[in-house]
């Protein structure tokens, strides 16, 4: 039963803390876009809950699109290579784009996505990352909007997974690798 499986998880950011921070990020994005239209590009699957909440916290005329990449395998480790599994449905040429990602970690994923989206010549390109792990960076890239900056911890919940599990936890929790399944 889910409650048994999840009971020992340590909460890093509670749903209330997440909601408060997402509201602040939404207000900032609303100010920065000042009446412009926006395409919010979610990076599947981890960014889905964040995009859903952030989209309702911005007061702009927004549309959604989604991309999917493979950069992580089934566990903790990055394979290093980033591959596009699902492309944008529509070109972002001439549009204001906000890439919405769960975690900015090594930066490989967002560097790759930024590169392929810039090739389409958007009007503007911004990045919103709920979490940032600056100590893990390999590629030189920063997000325009960061929810929380964290040390090198492995987190789960609010979209983020370990081997595809835990994405539906409402809070952001710490993953203990020794945790019993
Ligand atoms: P990057 O390409 O190394 O920046 O990796 C970004 C992706 O790695 C994120 O979108 C996550 O899917 C995944 N990732 C990085 N750190 C974590 C973590 O602590 N928990 C879950 N997924 C993570
Ligand atoms: Mg991800």
pLDDT digits (tens, 9 = 90+) for 126-165: 999 999 999 999 999 999 999 999 999 999 999 999 999 9
Atom of ligand 1 nearest to the CA of 109: 2
Look up 161 and say whether it is catalytic: no
Residue range 91-106, pLDDT digits in tens: 999 999 999 999 999 9
More confident residue, 6 or 30: 30
Q: Report CA(176)–ligand 1 centroid distance (Å).
A: 16
User: Of 62, 26, 70, nearest to 41 (Cα)?
Assistant: 62
pLDDT at 72 over 60: no
Phi and psi angles of residue 11, each rounded to the nearest 5 degrees, phi first: -80, 125
- What is the b/e burial string over 94-109, where b = at least 16 CB atoms within 10 angstroms of the residue's CB? ebbbbbbbbbbbbbbb
pLDDT band at 46 (very low <50, low <70, confident <90, very high): very high
Provide the mean pLDDT of the chain. Answer: 92
Report pLDDT for 3.
Answer: 46
Residue 142 has what pLDDT? 98
Whether pTM exceeds 0.95: no
Nearest CA to ligand 1 atom 19: 154
Ligand minimally distant from the alpha carbon of residue 103:
1
pLDDT of residue 5: 55
Distance 179 CA to ligand 2 centre (A): 22
Q: Per-residue pLDDT for 77 more than 60? A: no
- Distance from the alpha carbon of residue 37 to the mean position of ligand 1, in angstroms: 28
Which numbered atom of ligand 1 lies nearest the CA of 112? 2
CA of 89 to the centre of ligand 2 (A): 19
Evaluate if residue 40 carries a pLDDT over 70. Answer: yes
Is the shortest distance between the CB of 46 and ligand 1 below 6 Å?
yes
Angle CA(18)–CA(166)–CA(103) in degrees, nearest 5? 50
Tell whether ligand 1 has an atom less than 6 A from the beta carbon of residue 25: no
């Amino acid at each position: 039963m889910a409650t048994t499986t999840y009971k020992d998880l340590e909460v890093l950011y509670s749903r209330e803390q997440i909601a408060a921070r997402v509201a602040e990020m939404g207000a900032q994005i609303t100010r920065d876009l000042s009446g412009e239209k926006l395409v919010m590009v979610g990076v599947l699957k981890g960014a889905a809950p964040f995009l859903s909440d952030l989209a309702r916290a911005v007061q702009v005329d927004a549309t959604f699109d989604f991309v999917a990449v493979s950069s992580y395998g089934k566990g903790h480790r990055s394979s290093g290579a980033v591959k596009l599994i699902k492309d944008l449905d529509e070109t972002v040429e001439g549009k204001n784009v906000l890439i919405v990602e769960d975690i900015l970690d090594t930066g490989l994923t967002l560097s790759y996505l930024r590169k392929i989206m810039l090739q389409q010549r958007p009007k503007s390109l911004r990045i919103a990352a709920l979490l940032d792990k600056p100590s893990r960076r390999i590629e030189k890239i920063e997000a325009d909007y960061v929810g929380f900056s964290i040390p090198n911890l492995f987190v789960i919940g609010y979209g983020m997974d370990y081997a595809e599990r835990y994405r539906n936890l409402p809070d952001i929790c710490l993953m203990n690798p020794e945790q019993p399944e």
